[in-house]
């Protein structure tokens, strides 16, 4: 039995990562209907919208799903915790990241839910395990959105985290199909988390312009913002990202750069469709995404691809 499947009450260990602004209930339900684990995002959402999307997810699937709380993206996350408490019998797990999970893990576990903690180094994974994390989601530098400052790639991160902790680990960053899923699992992950792939789906409420930009992306279409001032964010290259990078070169201070990467500019590109006037979080795998499909189909196909690849007899020598 796969430990992730057991803990999250799912069929295949494929998780939809929290998606700021565009992690809606229908998408979470579609991922769960495919046998994976969908999550309703809270970043960029009012508590009312967060609650509404949880209820939409519940109406749209009988399968298990969860929610995501990126700590530092909320000035006050207490109202979201109240909602989690109210719906603790509907959701299975809460994933937390972008901040110290010390206070949130006991809250999650006291409510009978599983705690998934996002990390980007082996040391932080060890700390999260000591704090009571049930699952470590280690995310490499390939990933869309906020990245860890250590900039470790998924390929090097997974085995180091695997060596550091005994709770099951989920790999995130750069995973898009059965091939990358199997690679992550061979490296030591027991499950995978995808973000960018699930944005380019029929159910995701991202703007069509953002989805189209993902479909058109090449292997070098992403870049890093705010590396020097507040930690890296991986986004699509566009006029706005170029502008922010020029400003960072001129004046690399938080006061100068923070107003330029406020959530409103993220929302503008990803949700409102002004794909040139704001910045859109996007992972390096975008170039491997060529079609807008249902998230349910994607989960089923990745699982199928992974199963057949695992049955492949890889040749290590010529005899
Ligand atoms: C558009 C977008 C928004 C994201 N927002 C969040 C978020 O609110 N919370 C979070 O924990 N991670 C967030 N992430 C990271 C994803 O949950 C996931 O870990 C990551 O996308 C995995 O890498 P990939 O993009 O290569 O699939 C976001 C990623 C993207 C692409």
Give phi and psi for 171, each to the nearest 5. -100, 140
Mean pLDDT, residues 156-166 taken together: 98
Together in a domain, 134 and 189: yes
Q: Which atom of ligand 1 is nearest to the CA of 97?
A: 11
- Is residue 118 in contact with ligand 1, taking CB distance under 6 Å? yes
Together in a domain, 299 and 276: no
Residues 32, 134: Cα–Cα separation, whole Å: 20
Exposed / middle / buried, residue 75 (Cβ in 10 Å: 0-12, 13-18, 19+):
exposed
* Of 70, 76, 8, the residue nearest 42 (C-alpha): 70
Is residue 216 assigned to a domain?
no
Q: Which atom of ligand 1 is nearest to the CA of 198?
A: 27
Together in a domain, 33 and 156: yes
Is residue 217 assigned to a domain?
no
The beta strand positions in 163-256, using DSSP E, are 169-172, 191-194, 222-225, 233-236
Instruction: Quote the domain boundaries for residue 243.
Output: 222-281
Together in a domain, 183 and 76: yes
Is residue 110 assigned to a domain?
yes
Taking only the tens place, the pLDDT of each residue in 58-105 is: 999 999 999 999 998 888 999 999 999 999 999 999 999 988 999 999
More confident residue, 99 or 17: 17
Q: How many domains does the chain have?
A: 2
Other CB atoms within 10 Å distance of the CB of residue 55: 13
* Of 190, 180, 64, the residue nearest 137 (C-alpha): 190
How confident is residue 55, by pLDDT bands cut at 50, 70 and 90?
A: very high
Mean pLDDT, residues 283-303 taken together: 98
Is residue 142 assigned to a domain?
yes
Instruction: Give, using CA atoms, the residue closest to atom 3 of ligand 1.
Output: 19
Is residue 318 assigned to a domain?
no
Together in a domain, 277 and 160: no
Together in a domain, 128 and 270: no
Calculate the alpha carbon distances from 275 to 48, 210, 246, 287 in Å: 27, 6, 19, 17
- Is residue 283 in contact with ligand 1, taking CB distance under 6 Å? yes
Looking at residue 214, what is its pLDDT? Answer: 98
pTM attached to this predicted model: 0.97
- Is residue 170 in contact with ligand 1, taking CB distance under 6 Å? no
Together in a domain, 201 and 255: no
Residues 74, 77: Cα–Cα separation, whole Å: 6
Together in a domain, 155 and 275: no
Classified as helix, coil or strand, 105 is helix
Q: Which of 71, 189, 195 to mutate to test the pocket of ligand 1 (most atoms within 8 A of CB)?
A: 195
Q: Which atom of ligand 1 is nearest to the CA of 137?
A: 19
How confident is residue 316, by pLDDT bands cut at 50, 70 and 90?
A: confident
Together in a domain, 130 and 270: no
Is residue 215 assigned to a domain?
no
Q: What is the distance in A from the centroid of ligand 1 to the CA of 313?
A: 33
Looking at residue 1, what is its pLDDT? Answer: 86
Mention every residue, 6+ apart, whose C-beta is less than 8 A from residue 71.
77, 96, 97, 98, 99, 100, 101, 104
Using the predicted structure, report yes or no on whether residue 313 has a pLDDT greater than 80. no
Sheet containing strand 233-236, strands side by side: 145-146, 233-236, 222-225
Q: Which of 143, 174, 193 to mutate to test the pocket of ligand 1 (most atoms within 8 A of CB)?
A: 143
Give phi and psi for 275, each to the nearest 5. -70, -15
Is residue 212 assigned to a domain?
no
Together in a domain, 58 and 121: yes
- Is residue 174 in contact with ligand 1, taking CB distance under 6 Å? yes
Is residue 261 assigned to a domain?
yes
């Amino acid at each position: 039995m796969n430990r992730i499947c057991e803990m999250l009450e799912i069929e295949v260990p494929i998780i939809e990562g929290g998606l700021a602004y565009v992690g809606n209930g229908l998408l979470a339900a579609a991922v769960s209907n495919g046998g994976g684990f969908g999550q309703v995002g809270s970043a960029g959402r009012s508590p009312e919208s967060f609650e509404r999307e949880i209820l939409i997810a519940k109406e749209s699937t009988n399968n298990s799903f969860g929610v995501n709380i990126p700590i530092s993206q909320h000035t006050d996350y207490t109202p979201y915790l109240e909602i989690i408490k109210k719906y603790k019998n509907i959701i299975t797990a809460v994933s937390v990241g972008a901040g110290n999970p010390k206070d949130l893990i006991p809250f999650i576990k006291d409510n009978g839910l599983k705690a998934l903690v996002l990390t980007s180094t082996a040391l932080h994974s060890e700390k999260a395990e000591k704090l009571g994390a049930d699952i470590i989601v280690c995310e490499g530098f390939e990933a869309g959105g906020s990245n860890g400052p250590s900039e470790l790639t998924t390929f090097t991160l997974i085995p180091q985290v695997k060596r550091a902790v005994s709770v099951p680990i989920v790999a995130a960053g750069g995973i898009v199909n059965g091939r990358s899923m199997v690679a992550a699992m061979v490296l030591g992950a027991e499950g995978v988390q995808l973000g960018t792939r699930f944005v380019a789906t029929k159910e995701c409420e991202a703007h069509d312009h953002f989805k189209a930009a993902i479909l058109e992306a090449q292997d070098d279409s992403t870049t890093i913002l705010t590396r020097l001032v507040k930690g890296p964010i991986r986004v699509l290259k566009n006029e706005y990202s170029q502008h922010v990078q020029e400003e960072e070169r001129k004046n690399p201070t938080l006061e100068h750069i923070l107003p330029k990467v406020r959530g409103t500019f993220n929302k503008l590109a990803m949700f409102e469709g002004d794909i040139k006037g704001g910045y859109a979080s996007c992972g390096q795998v975008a170039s491997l995404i060529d079609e807008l499909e249902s998230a349910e189909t994607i989960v089923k196909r990745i699982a199928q691809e992974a199963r057949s690849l695992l049955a492949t007899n890889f040749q290590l020598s010529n005899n």
